[in-house]
Structure 1
């Protein structure tokens, strides 16, 4: 993997142990960490947990790379804070695609991302940004998201609904930040230090949608898609069009722009109407 990434122009640092990896992450502040599991001393899951719980390194995306391919291992990796999981042996194309995709996310812009085709026209793989809301794994086309960012500083608004976090200055624009799990009346399952904000634009409407965790770029095969009305997902239902099944896990495809196009969205968000 080192040679593959180096040939792509990436500078690669290596660590012999999990503890060394934690130290290098804090000292060098890499853009991405590829984490093995079986190492001397603390294992990769423990190292990932230390990195993602540390204020100085929790912003660094960690991808678990392991020969362990059980669903339980992948779920456990997510719980430690990993944003992705690759199973060895990893082919060069998948490795490069995953790393470059996460670098795009870290750069916090999808402005130049080509829109993905309609689901009936997708090629071998469909890519989207995965995230958690109310403990449910969701995925949205890259073209649905203008920017991914940590939770910004916000100015609270008086007399508004509880799902309005406040107004934030994002690249010179003042936008409302809405907590999706509050707006959709879903439970919160992760601590605030893992929350992220997706900036979504639809015409003249721009809003920051707060999610519980970014799961990074997700890849799905065409035949893993199933249409669904999302009724079992409660408040998410009207915005869900189907689901991808991958590695024993389900990611529901959600149309984020449809939330902004909902005629009640801003009235509800600003406390001018009651949510039906």
Structure 2
């Protein structure tokens, strides 16, 4: 068992830290809103600290799951940051979806001890300990961190050096963007044609059209329920990273760019906090026009 700090108790980090405690690790949590950290310690065995550095002190591993590049820098750097509190051969594992640029920038501060490990699987995956974790970093650092991450993963794989995890997560978000738009159009088409959407999905999900998005989101999409899952505001943040990186490396992402603008339309409808499957609401609005 290891001594672990967990920084960031959002919808993903909160249950992930809980899995670590349940597995027997000694966990100290930090959250910008301290009340949430206090709530976590009431529900799980573990402690909380008032700064990232204090949480990281004496730990074998420091895990982070925050919001964006700036949030990650704020918990890592400075006299109260995690890096200042880390001692010995402690390893930093970042589960945030951020740019490869900030990943490499921060990894340079603690050479050989940084693993970028963005996650996929949504809130349900975090709660059930069934996340897909895509990692980059030093082989030895990953080998040490992998057994710790296994408590909340169904697959955890190293794809290359620092930054490879974030680049792989971009592939994940690029693929999801097109899938959700396609599913939205299929369900919208079925409804407009007067078909039973559930019956349609029962049939087509068993063939080449089947996907995780279809299996896990079609019912809520048909029921016009979007108060769950991964928020559109966060998806646009991720797609912005994908598009900027695509420009940087010369990768054409025409569908991703188009779907990003569709998500912007949903934000303008007041749906920034809706689940990403709310793309179907945009189609319904267009039909009314």
> Same fold by TM (over 0.5)?
no
- The structure with the largest alpha-carbon Rg is 2
User: Highest relative contact order (Cα 8 Å, sep 6+), 1 or 2?
Assistant: 1
Whose helix fraction is larger, Structure 1's or Structure 2's?
2
**TM-score, length-scaled by structure 2:** 0.29
**TM-score, length-scaled by structure 1:** 0.30
